[in-house]
Amino acid sequence: MRIVITGATGFIGRSLCRDLCGDYDLVALSRDARKASGIVGQYARVVEWDGRTTGPWAGEVSGAEAVVNLAGENVAAGRWSPARKADILQSRTHAARAILDAIEMAKDKPKTFIQASAIGFYGSRADETLDETSAAGTGFLAEICRRVEMIAERAERLGVRWVIVRTGVVLGAGGGALPKLMRPFRFHLGGHVGTGRQWFSWISLEDQVRAIRFLIENPGARGVFNLTAPEPVTMKAFCRALGEVMGRSSWTAVPGFVLRLALGQMADEVLLAGQKVVPERLGQMGFEFKHRDVGSALTEIIRGEKHG
């Protein structure tokens, strides 16, 4: 059984490949086959694509068990200039369209299509509890998610089971947000940003991968799923937990205006925005999280990093 994964060389994709490779034949679509072979070559057959148009790679989609689209420019890699914002948006819309074109052309349609989205869909929402039925918010991230999700829903017309994963902040070793969040604590400068009252909806990398596998393997899963741990925390509580696990105090508070000066719009949407998101639909389907509590998740991740 074949699973085609785009963005397989990324933080989530690498772990997903490692997890799935024992049970599936994996095809990693990458814009740079040489680089990808070095990263996921032991788990997957690497096939080159350009991330935006169909090509010979499209044949891999036919007859696949699932196609998982994780491709997109990293949102937090740099200040959001107009050019960077265009790259962030178009890398996602073009990749999703190319995959759906390939699915449309496939004689033997894949069974499942999984599209990455994010809890940025909900915008910044104070203390409101957000489940999959909550309305979209405003802002650049909400706009990207809304547009990508609209493209992904085309799978319905093509008769393919589709799943959109609205993912929270993924916490794991070796990538994503956690190393950046840990850095000030290493220098005894740890603390929350803004008021610290904004909600921080997180998921461990291990649960992120387990949830994607669950959604691939569960034919009853269809539509939008929030991929966040069942117990979101405030930014202040998260920083306290991180400080405790690292043996450092969480004592500073970086005011919002300083972050805005340094990071511009990204500060508002990524660090100062809050969303209290719950994984309602995963819970209804009986998915069991390994990490529910942020303190124990951080302990396991950081201890694993030290010993791994």
Q: Does 70 bind ligand NDP (CB under 6 A)?
A: yes
Count of other CB atoms within 10 angstroms of residue 188: 11
Based on CB atoms, which residue is closest to ligand NDP, 87 or 249?
87
Residue whose pair of structure tokens reads 């690498």 in the numeric block: 14
CB of 210 to ligand NDP, least distance (A): 15
> What is the b/e burial string over 119-151, where b = at least 16 CB atoms within 10 angstroms of the residue's CB?
bbbbbbbeeeebebebeebebbbbbbbeebbeb
Subset of residues 80 to 119 that bind ligand NDP, contact rule: CB under 6 A: 91, 95, 116, 118
| Cα–Cα dist 171/77, whole Å | 16
Based on CB atoms, which residue is closest to ligand NDP, 131 or 253?
131
Based on CB atoms, which residue is closest to ligand NDP, 261 or 289?
289
Q: If DSSP codes are grouped into helix, strand and coil, which group holds residue 5? A: strand
Pair 38, 47: CB distance under 8 Å: no
Based on CB atoms, which residue is closest to ligand NDP, 117 or 234?
117
Which single residue brings its beta carbon nearest to ligand NDP? 10
Based on CB atoms, which residue is closest to ligand NDP, 4 or 75?
75
Q: Does 169 bind ligand NDP (CB under 6 A)?
A: yes
Q: Does 36 bind ligand NDP (CB under 6 A)?
A: yes
Q: Does 13 bind ligand NDP (CB under 6 A)?
A: yes
Q: Does 68 bind ligand NDP (CB under 6 A)?
A: no
DSSP label of 281: H
Taking contact as CB under 6 A, which single stretch among the options 28-36, 60-68, 122-130, 181-189 is the one that binds ligand NDP? 28-36
Based on CB atoms, which residue is closest to ligand NDP, 11 or 287?
11
| Cα–Cα dist 226/77, whole Å | 24
Binds ligand NDP by CB under 6 A, chosen from 20, 44, 51, 140: 51
Based on CB atoms, which residue is closest to ligand NDP, 151 or 286?
151
> What is the b/e burial string over 231-243, where b = at least 16 CB atoms within 10 angstroms of the residue's CB?
ebbbbbbbbbbbb
| Cα–Cα dist 39/35, whole Å | 7
CA nearest to 7, candidates 123, 114, 101, 82: 114
Q: Does 10 bind ligand NDP (CB under 6 A)?
A: yes
Pair 58, 9: CB distance under 8 Å: no
Taking contact as CB under 6 A, which single stretch among the options 9-17, 130-138, 187-195, 229-237 is the one that binds ligand NDP? 9-17
Which residues of the shown chain bind ligand NDP in the complex (CB under 6 A)? 7, 9-13, 30-32, 36, 51, 70-75, 91, 95, 116, 118, 167, 169-170, 176-177
